Structure 1
Amino acid sequence: MADPFGRAVRDHHRGERDEPLAQRDGEQTREHPIEQFYFTEFAGEGENGRWLDARLDGPLLDLGAGAGRHALYFQERFETVAVEVSDDLVATMRERGVEDAREGDMFALREQFERDRFRSALAIGTQLGLAGSMDGLRRFLGDLAVVTTPDATAVVDCYDPARIETGELLGYRPDPTPGMAARVMTFEYEGELGETLLFRLFGPDRIREAAVGTGWSVEEVRYGDEGPHYRVALEKA
């Protein structure tokens, strides 16, 4: 399967990238900021860094770990397992020094890990939206509850449809359901198109609703300085 996203991140790490990684929705395109999103060092500093650091403990499961930005920091503090679906991203993480980088699917956790394996989990990068639906989100949270301890914590992120301005998010698709929307986009690199990605966008209340009965509850919702992006701290109910 074509993986322009993973190849572009790998090539950037190796100093071999000569073309941009593009996000595409039909004829609309935007350059994806690889350096900013995946290669700036996370050092647990600043208000946001300290907030995240305080909510995670080991063993940690880093889902959709990208180039290992967070894994590199947290593995110095406790056991960290970084999971990515892309071979190229797993290779990139290993080259950068991530000690336990594995190929895996964040939506098939029960098949990959035993019960109570992790004390906390992290899924930063809005890949939560690839759950595809409210039912998919419930299944993910339920599976995550199985592979984490009874006192576990987790941090995930998403875009809040209620805060999205027209034209702000490439591939945005409105939805009449409150707190719901979608995003459709494809990555392109060196003329190669990846598969079309469908992200469901869940507002905080939809995550609270999906968490009911999964073992999780929403402990805190934290928005960035501006815009629709937010993070959710979860704890076992």
Structure 2
Amino acid sequence: MGSDIFGAAMLDYLNNTYKEDIVTRSSISEDDTIPVPYLFRSYAEMPIIEQKALNLSKGKVLDIGCGAGSHSLYLQNKNIDVTALDSSKGAIEACKKRGISKTINAKILEHNSTTYDTLLLLMNGIGIVGELNKLGDYLQHLKSLLNTNGQLLLDSSDIIYMFEEDEDGGYWIPPGKDYYGEVDYEMQYKNEKSDTFPWLYLDYNTLQRAAILNGFNCELIVEGEHYDYLAKLTVAKQ
């Protein structure tokens, strides 16, 4: 993403120099903000989807795209063996400052040194895939990180509600995109801007089809209040 927007904001918050939030600009909506304190929320402040995922976590856990480490910290305090992974150097520094004992500063596709019982991809963590045509490669890599009887817990949203339906029941898809859930983002914090980067929102049916094609079983665990959901993927028996 270019500048480490999230990392800089998280460290400012921990160093008590936080004064403004992260601004997001996307290809499908007006400017929005991500309140930095929300990245440090407690379990009680998390939506039901995240709480459910944490309650289902078991064994050796990898928290992918951990951010400020709120999920990892909760699991660690429950004496669960959790490792926080993020490509943001600042995010990992923030996790360490918060007392998370196991951290990895890397992109998920670069991490292949060990396997886990639970993989977490929360706060629309599957968005890191960026484009639908890359989903299979990511799912295959994630499958390689799972122990026998392991699970992948991920949440996402169906953003079809953001598009207008035409008279024939179809939807307009932005030019240059193969799927309506492919969104381009840019972020700004203080005077620093990120490069434009792709992010993927997946409707459940599309996720389920991709999961089956890549050797997973896919189960809808819970639906949220705004077109979002939590899914569990497990490796299908041969």
Whether these two folds match at TM > 0.5 is yes
State how many pairs are aligned. Answer: 225
1:35 deviates by 1.4
Residue 109 of structure 2 is aligned with which of 107, 110, 127?
A: 107
The TM-score with structure 2 as length reference comes to 0.83
Judging changes above 3 Å, is the alpha-carbon distance between structure 1 residues 234 and 164 closer, same or farther for their aligned structure 2 residues?
Answer: farther
* Paired-residue identity, %: 20
Structure 2: 5+ residue stretches without partners: 165-171
The alignment partner of 1:75 has SS state of helix
The alignment partner of 1:219 has SS state of strand
Structure 1: 5+ residue stretches without partners: 167-172
Which residue identity does 1:82 align to in structure 2?
A: A
1:34 deviates by 1.9
Aligned to 1:169: none
Q: CA RMSD in A?
A: 2.7
Residues 18-71 of structure 1 deviation map (CA, whole Å, 9 limit, x = unaligned)? 2322112489422212212x1111269996565323421120010000101010
Residues 189-216 of structure 1 deviation map (CA, whole Å, 9 limit, x = unaligned)? 1111011121122211111111124332
CA distance in 1: counterparts of 2:129 and 2:188, whole angstroms: 22
1:162 deviates by 3.1
Judging changes above 3 Å, is the alpha-carbon distance between structure 1 residues 56 and 44 closer, same or farther for their aligned structure 2 residues?
Answer: farther
Judging changes above 3 Å, is the alpha-carbon distance between structure 1 residues 108 and 196 closer, same or farther for their aligned structure 2 residues?
Answer: same
Superposed counterparts of 1:4-153, under 5 Å = 4-25=5-26, 28-36=30-38, 38-42=39-43, 48=49, 51-76=52-77, 77-110=79-112, 113-114=113-114, 117-153=115-151
CA distance in 1: counterparts of 2:126 and 2:50, whole angstroms: 20
1:223 deviates by 1.9
Aligned to 2:212: 212
The alignment partner of 2:11 has SS state of helix
The TM-score with structure 1 as length reference comes to 0.84
Judging changes above 3 Å, is the alpha-carbon distance between structure 1 residues 230 and 178 closer, same or farther for their aligned structure 2 residues?
Answer: farther
Judging changes above 3 Å, is the alpha-carbon distance between structure 1 residues 131 and 48 closer, same or farther for their aligned structure 2 residues?
Answer: closer
The alignment partner of 1:98 has SS state of coil
Judging changes above 3 Å, is the alpha-carbon distance between structure 1 residues 156 and 175 closer, same or farther for their aligned structure 2 residues?
Answer: farther
